[in-house]
Amino acid sequence: MIIEENGWKIIFFVLLMLFTLIRIIFAVKSKQSKVIQSQNLLEEKIKAFTVSLGTFFLPLVYIFTPWLDSFEMNFPLWARYTGFAILFLSLLFFLYVHSVLDKNWSPVLQIKENHELITSGPYKYIRHPMYTQIWMWVAGQFLLVSNWIVGLAGIITWSLLYFTRVNKEENMMIEQFGDKYREYIQTTGKLFPRFF
């Protein structure tokens, strides 16, 4: 089925709003648990805001204005459908991961009161399933929008946060949970399950 550019914009908008709704629900939940330790708070906040530029604000400009239309990449239809499928799966996975991590989630690096080390659900196999999910999201965004500014903005802003955060997060978890986390590292992969 041929979908006009505005059709893709509407589809992307609906997915983006569902993503935002899930985030808001869990952000409200997360606020209920007390923070006992934050790491590099200002830097983390700036990076999280930068990601929101690439995955939320710029996509909204793409959806609601024609300003970015000249950066269209003319991806073939199958690529845009693949983007849709990836975004849809990523959304379901997002809901699942958020519900497993529950009140231990925070948008920046933090340890909460009574922080539990989660090793169940996707965490049984992967240490950073939410980051896997966001990688899927930015890849799906690129394919669906077929626009190099919006596509690259998602991938670049997310890469900046991911590559500067993930090792710090693991060190923070080791500081908090000690050998329990060190053992957990032995049996899990960072973004994908370990098969050996």
Interface residues toward ligand SAH, by CB under 6 A:
97, 101, 104-106, 109-111, 117-118, 123, 128-131, 169, 173
Task: Give min distance, CB of 164 to ligand SAH, in A.
Answer: 13
Give the distance from CA 73 to its chain's centroid: 24
For residues 48 and 160, what is the distance between their CA atoms, to the nearest angstrom?
10
Task: Give min distance, CB of 101 to ligand SAH, in A.
Answer: 6
Q: Which is nearer to ligand SAH, 75 or 94 (CB)?
A: 94
Half-sphere exposure of 36 (CA within 13 A, CB side): 9
Q: Which is nearer to ligand SAH, 86 or 134 (CB)?
A: 134
Q: Which is nearer to ligand SAH, 38 or 82 (CB)?
A: 38
The 8 Å CB, 24+ separation contacts for 2-5 are 2/77, 3/77, 3/80, 5/69, 5/72
Cβ 144 vs Cβ 80: under 8 Å: yes
Q: Considering only CA atoms, which of 27, 14, 25 is closest in space to residue 88?
A: 14
Task: Give min distance, CB of 83 to ligand SAH, in A.
Answer: 22
Q: Which is nearer to ligand SAH, 61 or 95 (CB)?
A: 95
Task: Give min distance, CB of 64 to ligand SAH, in A.
Answer: 29
